[in-house]
Amino acid sequence: MTDHVRCPICLSTVDWAQAETVTLNADGRPEPLVRLPGEDDVRWNHRRLDAYRLCAGGGEPHVLPGRYGDFGEPLVIGVVGESAAGKSHLLAAMLGMLSDVDRMARLGLVVGGLDLKLHQRYLKDVVRPFLDQGLGLAGTPAQPPEFTDALWIHNSNTGRSFAVAFFDVSGEWLADHDAEVPFLGAVSALVFVVDPTRIRGLTATGGSVTGDPSFGVVLDKIARLRGVDGSQFLPLPAAVVIGKCDLLRHHENLVDRWFQNASPDEELHLATVEEESEDAYAFLSSRDARGWLAPFVRCARSTLHFATATGHKAVEADGVQRSPHGSFAPRRTLKPMLALFAMCGVLGPTDLGQGAAG
Ligand SMILES: Nc1nc2c(ncn2[C@@H]2O[C@H](COP(=O)(O)OP(=O)(O)O)[C@@H](O)[C@H]2O)c(=O)[nH]1
Ligand SMILES: [Mg+2]
Ligand SMILES: [Zn+2]
């Protein structure tokens, strides 16, 4: 157990052993949860299933998942990109893949919810309607970043467990609240989502040639926060994902080859990450989209990927986005997350490429 855990909501350090155990009442307010005299482990553990830990670090008291600090320094993964880049759909697809017990087992991983209520609600309200019923996700409200989901991940090859929290940041919020994104001070790794529809000339004649402004905002802020604004590299792993690749396929050889003969098992095979990164780098450079390479250039360790969260364009009826085929079919969304896991130590170096052999 770590002594102190950095709260990603307010950035204060929480003395984990001392942090008060609470539950949330019907109004969402924290109420202390105390062990009754003589209460045995079975009952106490049961009552603690939905428990949180209180962070009294300043401002409104807020809570962290009950086991957030139980496994060493938690991993905080943020998803960055301008509004409508495809962050929420990509994250939902990634978390859907991480809930695939069989695939995870082939990597030696056991994955579960850290905050069980939040995890179940996210799967039920977001991931399943998206993957099973083909319902698009509503736009992320412009509000401070919140935990989208928090997972407990155990690697049975290394015997290590991790708490992993995911943050989905509203693009509008980031643009207007430059100074108010505290979770960046606690972030351990980032997923940068490149939206090809914003790159001039790729899917339409309009678009930008200078890159996604939110990338620069986040990179500069992290450089400041870490006190490394003078150095060349940021000590932060990053996966840069060229999303919405369904809109690019069939025109672009460098993209197509990653979707053509790739079986679902190939996604578990990390040995191709370097080659995919080279192709994605070559693709963006050759299409005057070097601006989107900023995270790759500035982060000390980074990978580049091609992915599609929906597999095809959604159709809109009565204000609701639906899949024309009844379900969305994400492709290559797991690999960027696995690459990040490898960079963060969740997957050991010996896990790289192991899935393909299983
Ligand atoms: N064609 C296509 N559209 C996508 C994909 N992912 C997201 N979109 C669309 O892009 C829009 C914005 O997606 P969203 O995830 O809400 O973006 P966010 O604001 O970055 O969270 C929505 O209309 C989605 O249907 C994809 O993989 N392919
Ligand atoms: Mg969103
Ligand atoms: Zn806090």
Q: Is the CB of 145 under 6 A from ligand 1?
A: no
DSSP summary character for residue 138:
P
Which numbered ligand comes closest to the C-alpha of 62?
Answer: 3
Q: Is the CB of 313 under 6 A from ligand 1?
A: yes
Q: Is the CB of 138 under 6 A from ligand 1?
A: no
Q: Which of 15, 32, 65 corresponds to the end of one domain?
A: 65
CA of 120 to the centre of ligand 3 (A): 23
CA of 8 to the centre of ligand 3 (A): 7
Best probe residue, ligand 1, of 310, 313, 322 (max atoms within 8 Å of C-beta): 310
In a domain, 70, yes or no: no
In a domain, 84, yes or no: yes
pLDDT computed for residue 58 by the predictor = 74
In a domain, 111, yes or no: yes
Sheet of strand 299-306, all strands in order from the earlier edge strand to the far edge: 109-113, 146-155, 160-168, 75-80, 189-194, 234-242, 299-306
Q: To 10 degrees, what angle do helices 273-286 and 253-260 make?
A: 150
Same domain, 131 and 220: yes
Between CA 239 and CA 306 the distance in angstroms is 11
Same domain, 345 and 218: yes
Helix (H, G, I), strand (E, B) or coil at 285: helix
Domain count, the chain: 2
Same domain, 198 and 130: yes
Same domain, 56 and 86: no
pLDDT computed for residue 329 by the predictor = 87
Q: Is the CB of 14 under 6 A from ligand 1?
A: no
In a domain, 176, yes or no: yes
Interval 253-302: pLDDT, tens: 899 999 987 777 888 989 999 999 999 999 999 999 999 999 999 999 99
**CA-CA-CA-CA torsion sign (83, 85, 91, 96):** positive
Same domain, 171 and 255: yes
Question: Mind giving me the DSSP string for 40-106?
Answer: -HHHHHHHTTT-EEEE-SSSS-EEEETTTTBTBSPEEEEEE-STTSSHHHHHHHHHHHHT-HHHHHH
**Dihedral in degrees, nearest 10, Cα atoms 78, 170, 88, 123:** 80
Beta-carbon count within 10 A of 299 CB: 23
Q: Which of 65, 90, 105 corresponds to the end of one domain?
A: 65
215 Cβ contact list (under 8 Å, min separation 6)? 80, 81, 192, 292, 294, 295
Same domain, 14 and 100: no
Q: Is the CB of 333 under 6 A from ligand 1?
A: no
pLDDT computed for residue 352 by the predictor = 52
Same domain, 55 and 94: no
In a domain, 129, yes or no: yes
In a domain, 300, yes or no: yes
Between CA 129 and CA 111 the distance in angstroms is 21
Helix (H, G, I), strand (E, B) or coil at 326: coil
Alpha helices in 203-244 (DSSP H): 213-225
pLDDT computed for residue 358 by the predictor = 31
Same domain, 13 and 100: no
Q: Which of 65, 89, 115 corresponds to the end of one domain?
A: 65
In a domain, 128, yes or no: yes
Give the closest residue (by CA) to ligand 1 atom 10: 86
Residues of the chain with pLDDT under 50: 353-358
Same domain, 50 and 192: no
Vertex 55 angle, CA 223 and 151, to 5°: 70
Q: What is the CATH number of the domain that holds 148?
A: 3.40.50
Q: Is the CB of 86 under 6 A from ligand 1?
A: yes
In a domain, 319, yes or no: yes
Same domain, 184 and 48: no
Give the closest residue (by CA) to ligand 1 atom 14: 86
CA of 83 to the centre of ligand 2 (A): 7
DSSP summary character for residue 11:
-
Same domain, 315 and 282: yes
What is the domain range of residue 39?
Answer: 4-65
Same domain, 32 and 170: no
Q: Is the CB of 315 under 6 A from ligand 1?
A: no
